Structure 1
Amino acid sequence: MPFVDIETNLAASKFSEGFLKKLCSATAAALGKPEERMNLVVKAGLQMLIAGSCSSCVVLSVSAIGVTDTAEKNREHSAKLFPFLTEELGLAEDRIVIRFYALEPHQVGKKGTVMSFL
């Protein structure tokens, strides 16, 4: 049950339903998870600064159980996600940052319990 959050200073109009579906497919494929388990949130129009510049930028946060827990895995995910983001958003790689968070099953609640018991 991965969680994908985008924080950006780009306008909300840049993130159509079509973009969200493409992002869902791209992140699911990169993480090896089914699309129906993905959870996405876009926070657009924020005041942001990356590398000393307020130019258009994105911070993508990816939290998941079992697939974001090593540098090797995250390097592979990053290599798959950067081309998608640069192409779809028209940003250079240096205007995108990806943060990976490893989750444990007891940290994700669903259906009145936690993933440990499902």
Structure 2
Amino acid sequence: MPFLELQSNLPASSFTEDFLKKFVSVTAAALGKPEERMHLVVHPGLPLMIKNSCSPGVLLSVSAVGATDSAEKNKEHSAKIFNFLTSELNLSEDRIGIVFHALQLHQVGKRGTVMSFL
């Protein structure tokens, strides 16, 4: 159950349903997770400063069990996600930041319990 939280100063119109579906597909493939288990929230139109500039940009948080727990994995994920975001949103790499969080089963709630017990 990966969780993606994308924050941006781009307008909501930049994040169409088509974009959301493609983004989930790309990140699911990158993380090796099924698309139907992905969770995504987008916060558009935020005040955002990256590298002392308010130019268009994106900050992304990626939290997952077993997929974001090493530098090697996150390097691969990062390349695939950066490729998608730069091409789809017309952003340069210096306007995107990604934070990876490694989750453990007891940190993810589902069906009134946590994943450890399912």
Q: Tell whether 2:30 aligns with 1:19.
A: no
Corresponding residue for residue 34 of structure 2: 34
Runs of 4+ deviating beyond 3 Å: none
Corresponding residue for residue 102 of structure 2: 102
Letter matched to residue 18 of structure 1: D
Deviations 1:64-91 (CA, angstroms, capped at 9, x unpaired): 0011011111001001111100000000
Aligned-pair identity in percent equals 68
CA–CA distance in 2 between the matches of 1:102 and 1:117?
19
Corresponding residue for residue 80 of structure 1: 80
Structure 2 unaligned segments of length 5 or more: list them. none
CA–CA distance in 1 between the matches of 2:99 and 2:63?
8
Corresponding residue for residue 117 of structure 2: 117
CA–CA distance in 2 between the matches of 1:80 and 1:15?
18
Letter matched to residue 83 of structure 1: N
CA drift of 1:117 comes to 1.0
What is the DSSP-based 3-state SS (H/G/I as helix, E as strand, rest coil) of the residue aligned with 1:47?
coil
CA–CA distance in 2 between the matches of 1:51 and 1:69?
27
Corresponding residue for residue 2 of structure 1: 2
Deviations 1:27-79 (CA, angstroms, capped at 9, x unpaired): 00000000000000000000010001000000011000011011111001001
* TM-score (ref. length: structure 2): 0.99
What is the DSSP-based 3-state SS (H/G/I as helix, E as strand, rest coil) of the residue aligned with 2:50?
coil
Corresponding residue for residue 92 of structure 1: 92
CA–CA distance in 2 between the matches of 1:106 and 1:54?
38
Q: Tell whether 2:47 aligns with 1:47.
A: yes
